[in-house]
Structure 1
Amino acid sequence: MALRFAVSPLWETIAGLRVLAAPGLSPVHQRWIAWAEERLLPLGADPSPLHDLATRPVVPEFLIPTPGVRSERVEVEIDAIAKATPERITAAVDDPRLRSAPAAAITAMQERLRAVHDAIILPVWSRLEGVLQGDVERRGRRLVEAGGPTVLAELHAEVSYRAPHLTVADRTVDIGERDLVLVPSAFTWPHAYLRDSPVRLALCYPAHGFGSLWERSDAPTNDALARLVGHTRARLLCELERPSTVTELATRLGVTVGAVSQHLGVLRAAGLAVSRREGREVVSLRTGLGLALVQGEVP
């Protein structure tokens, strides 16, 4: 078993639609739900099979391809849906639109996915990604310290692992030689969700810190934050609401690149920020804990 992590904006889009379909089951997302429902109104009714498939008890595997890298762009994920063969589609779901014209139905779903993502996920993606990447960093350190079986045992109450079998709720699969990709999600709670494919397995689970995503403090916290972590680090945490390079941060803060690097090292060590490589650059982003600290929600 090769165990790794991935962050999937496509899955957050699908999972967000599932939350909106049953809003009463997700009290921690009520602020986001009210906002997202208003954002979706201009899109009108879904003419594609997307809503019906996304809100089924089990989402068809071809609709949510598992990322091959840690952080994949949503455009790449949505484009990958078109690679599913008609046989694979019809084997996964019985829908007259997919039986009669699978290519047209897939195209319609891709267009709807892009519109939905742009409406309800993209505007809050920096906040979501901070929580998701922070969870990956947290569990990645645990993986190094204690190994894969321990990480899986600590992942979720519905998850258990006894080589070579993985059990999620009442479903057990033989992992075999496949990759097992752990995908944190802000919208999966209270359950874990297994995505099974011939190449790799994906296990979606509630990300650590998702519960404070939409909470806001009415009192200004910048002064208190500066007293706690220092003026420059407080400004840095505020700037890290979106992925940024060291050079970008140094320019916005008016300090040297070396100073930003040192402060980022301290924030990463405290679990307040994460950094990752994107091509030739390294970008940083605050974690869910960093966001809560900026908003004054950490006692």
Structure 2
Amino acid sequence: MRLRFAVSPIWETVAGLRLLARAHAPHPHAEWLGWATGKLAALPDDRSVLSALVARADIPEFLIPTPGNRMVGFDAELEALTWTTTPERVTGALGAQAGLLAAPDAVPRLQERLRAVHDAVIRPVWAQVEGVLQGDLERRGQRLLDAGPPAVLGELHPDVTFESLRLVVSGRAITPGERDLVLLPSAFVWPGTHLRDSPLRLGLHYPARGFGSVWQRSCRATGDGLDRLLGGTRAALLRALERPVSVSELAGALGVTAGAVSQHLGVLRAAGLAVSRREGREVVSLRTALGVALLRGEV
């Protein structure tokens, strides 16, 4: 197994769409979601085809191929669809909704829709997103040199382990063998991961360290008052506590140290905005009713 790193703009586009389709999206993305929802609503093009494809549990491989190089531009990934897939594969992936696309022009129409979405909600924030993704790659690349693949894989995510040449992701065990394992940090896959298992290579998307800071710096739509009241980091923590979350997950999402997270959580608990409890070997935290009310502007 050879361990590599890569960034995929087309994956970020697809993952962003999947996030927008959720009824209850994670709060670290709340500001981007509010901004992106308005941007998509203004698009004249019908996005039902994309929505049908990205909503599948098994996203079609032709839509999100694992990059062969570390950094591939969106235009290159989009153009690759021309020669990596066929109209029949696209309509076949749509299943009962195949009538949404006429087979002869299925691929170019899919490309048009992907570009429209990317230009509307990803390209405007791509500089910030790319900075976080590349920063994650640099840190993990150095870790790979210092400690080797097992250390890197063991620190990616609580659901990922690597033992006895087997990769285990969310309970699923895989033997990479001679295949490349490509690690792809993402700003839109949280709190879990996404594994792509193909004959040539494995692609593992994981939450990039510090991705939550992207939305603090870019598409801020709401929450400035909360940031002024609590401070940027504490406000971001409060937004992230939609479900029970561990200190290590919060530290990774916001790009701060575990010690800093613990300190800020202590302040939130003292104010009655959060509670913490032990689950197994970890301590997890969650917003209180008062914390929810504060986020909603009800207090």
Structure-1-length-normalised TM-score? 0.67
Q: How far 1:48 sits from its partner (Å)?
A: 5.3
The corresponding residue for 2:39 is: 39
Q: Deviations over 1:52-93 (max 9, x none)?
A: 111222211111011111111101111222312567667766
Q: Distance in 2 between matches of 1:51 and 1:149?
A: 37
Structure 1 stretch displaced more, 81-90 or 163-172: 81-90
Cα distance change of structure 1 residues 163 and 98 upon mapping to structure 2, 3 Å threshold: farther
Quote the offset at 1:100 in angstroms. Answer: 8.4
- Shift of residue 44 of structure 1? 3.8
CA separation in 2, counterparts of 1:35 and 1:187? Answer: 15
How do residues 252-267 of structure 1 correspond to structure 2 at under 5 angstroms? none
The CA deviation at 1:198 is 1.7
User: Cα 1:165–1:184, aligned 2, differ >3 Å: closer, same or farther?
Assistant: same
Residues 91 and 106, structure 2, Cα contact 8 Å, conserved in 1:
no
Are positions 1:150 and 2:157 aligned together? no
Partner of 2:121: 120
In structure 2, the residue matched to 1:184 is 185
User: Equivalent residue for 2:242?
Assistant: none
Q: How does 1:51-200 map to 2 (within 5 A)?
A: 51-82=51-82, 83-85=84-86, 94-95=95-96, 97=98, 101-200=102-201
For 2:67 and 2:114, the matched residues in 1 are separated by 16
Residue 24 of structure 1 deviates from its aligned partner by: 2.2
Of residues 136-145 and 48-57 in structure 1, the stretch that sits farther from structure 2 once superposed is 48-57
CA contact (8 A) 2:88 2:103 kept: no
Moved more, 195-204 or 81-90: 81-90
127-136 vs 196-205, which deviates more?
Answer: 196-205
Count of aligned residue pairs for this structure pair: 222
Task: Tell me, yes or no, if the aligned pair for 2:45 and 2:113 is still in contact at 8 Å.
Answer: no
Equivalent-residue separation in structure 1 for 2:44 and 2:22 (angstroms): 18
Q: Which runs of 5+ in 2 are unaligned?
A: 226-254, 257-299
Contact 2:52 2:94 in 1 (8 A): no
Match of 2:3?
3
Q: Which runs of 5+ in 1 are unaligned?
A: 220-287, 290-299
- Hey, what's the Cα distance between the residues in 1 that align with 2:153 and 2:175? 15
Q: Aligned letter for 1:5? A: F
Task: Between 29-38 and 200-209, report the one with greater CA deviation.
Answer: 29-38
Give aligned-pair identity as a percent. Answer: 54
Give the 3 Å change call, closer, same or farther, for CA 149–125 of structure 1 in structure 2.
Answer: same
In structure 2, how many angstroms separate the alpha carbons of the residues matched to 1:149 and 1:141?
13
| CA distance 1:91–1:49, change in 2 (3 Å) | closer
Deviations 1:197-230 (CA, angstroms, capped at 9, x unpaired) = 22111100000001222125979xxxxxxxxxxx
Cα distance in 1, alignment partners of residues 47 and 13 from structure 2: 17
Distance (Å, rounded) in 1 between the aligned partners of 2:188 and 2:97: 29
Letter in structure 2 aligned against 1:15? A
Equivalent residue for 2:271?
Answer: none
Q: Letter of the aligned partner of 2:53 in structure 1?
A: L
One-letter code of the match for 2:167?
A: L
Q: Is the 8 A contact 1:192 1:203 kept in 2?
A: yes
Aligned partners of 1:116 and 1:62: how far apart in 2? 17
Take 1:98 and 1:81, find their aligned partners in 2: how far apart are those partners? 20
Secondary structure in structure 1 of the residue aligned to 2:134: helix
Letter in 1 for 2:70: R
Q: Which amino acid aligns with 2:11?
A: W
Matches of 1:178 and 1:168, distance apart in 2: 16
Which residue pairs with 2:209 in the alignment? 208
Q: Which amino acid aligns with 2:187?
A: A
Supply the AA of the counterpart residue of 1:213: V
In 2: Cα distance, 1:125 partner to 1:141 partner: 24
Does the CA contact (< 8 Å) of 2:11 and 2:64 recur in 1? yes
CA offsets, 1:73-130, max 9 Å, x none? 1011112223125676677663552898545222221110000000000010000000
